[in-house]
Amino acid sequence: MPDINLCLEALSALSGCSVELTSGTSQLTPQDFVNIVALKEFYKQEGFKELEYPSLGTLSLQDVDDQDLYGNPPALTEGPELQSLRTTVRINPQDFFHPKYDYDFTNIKDGSTKFLRGNEQYIRPCGWNRVALQVIQRYADGNSWLGTGKDAWPVSYQGYSMDGSLGIILTRGACSSDEPQFLDVAAASLNNSETRGRGVYSTPDIKMAEQYCKQFTSRVDGKKYKVVLQNRINPQKRTKCQREDVWLVYIPEGHNDVQTRAIVQESIRPYGLLLKQA
């Protein structure tokens, strides 16, 4: 497992919170953590400034760490202005991480070798170092979602700022192979809330996730890192888009905070924190 402080920095960069160690019970479970990452991005794209989350209270959606969370931003220092924008979250490595299942893919190349999860292709995160999260025996329906059999959920990667602004259109019926017609449909969809996906985006392709991943400069070694969440996604809750490398968990209009959080929690389960030197 990488240095624990590096892992905390990665969690901080993803969530926008200040993640610190505790010897007590973690304030958040890995599931809470992926909920926050997904919901913060969703609500930010919806135009909100804050997110209310149980046990944490109000979380700012202002992305202060775009200026470098671990450096000294020109506009914000480590004074009260910056601290007021960052909620402190304390986790205990003993109940949050699961080192037994860590896997370093840094020097692995799969080539043409194919892997499956839930009978769908699993593109392994070659080039990344995976820190396993403690998720075994945490769900009422058991652990089959995390396996390799037919009941397993497919693997998805949670990047950063992946949303409808990518111009991704939901697949509705057969797509015409006639390019002009396809472009007409694409243009029309930009003004149609029923075809433009409203919700949480992820991808089965680690290379695409890397394009939208969060980066941070570590205080541990002074190096710059990329960070991505490795999840499993409920195939019953996922909507495939026109682009095969993008998946959507759709959130209907009119859903309140509790209903929205429930959709995310039923749809996406995290199991790995991926790190890669930038």
Is residue 234 within 8 A of residue 153, CB to CB? The reply is yes
**What is the distance between the alpha carbons of residues 57 and 94, in angstroms, rounded to a whole number?**
24
| Averaged pLDDT for residues 20-38 | 95
Is residue 248 within 8 A of residue 164, CB to CB? The reply is no
DSSP code at position 11: H
What pLDDT is recorded for position 66? Answer: 47
| Averaged pLDDT for residues 128-140 | 97
Percentage of the chain surpassing pLDDT 90? 62
> Do the strands 103-104 and 116-117 form a parallel or antiparallel pair, or are they unpaired?
unpaired
What pLDDT is recorded for position 94? Answer: 96
What pLDDT is recorded for position 218? Answer: 96
Residue 238: Cβ-neighbour burial (10 angstroms; 0-12, 13-18, 19+): buried
What pLDDT is recorded for position 150? Answer: 87
| Averaged pLDDT for residues 6-28 | 95
DSSP code at position 252: -
**What is the distance between the alpha carbons of residues 12 and 60, in angstroms, rounded to a whole number?**
13
Q: Which two tokens stand for residue 199?
A: 């919700």
Is residue 36 within 8 A of residue 53, CB to CB? The reply is yes
In the predicted structure, residue 116 carries a pLDDT above the cut 80: yes
pLDDT band at 164 (very low <50, low <70, confident <90, very high): low
Handedness of CA 45, 90, 6, 158 (dihedral sign): negative
In the predicted structure, residue 166 carries a pLDDT above the cut 50: yes
| Residue range 193-243, pLDDT digits in tens | 444 578 899 999 999 999 989 999 999 999 999 999 999 999 999 988 777
**What is the distance between the alpha carbons of residues 223 and 277, in angstroms, rounded to a whole number?**
7
Q: Give domain limits for the chain.
A: 4-277
**What is the distance between the alpha carbons of residues 98 and 76, in angstroms, rounded to a whole number?**
35
In the predicted structure, residue 167 carries a pLDDT above the cut 80: no
Residue of 80, 84, 37, 77 whose CA lies nearest to 60: 84
261: left (phi over 0), alpha (psi -120 to 50) or beta: alpha
Least confident of 111-115, 196-200, 233-237, 265-269: 196-200
Neighbours of 50 (CB within 10 A): 14
Q: Which residue has the higher pLDDT, 135 or 71?
A: 135
What pLDDT is recorded for position 61? Answer: 84
Q: What's the predicted TM-score (pTM) here?
A: 0.85
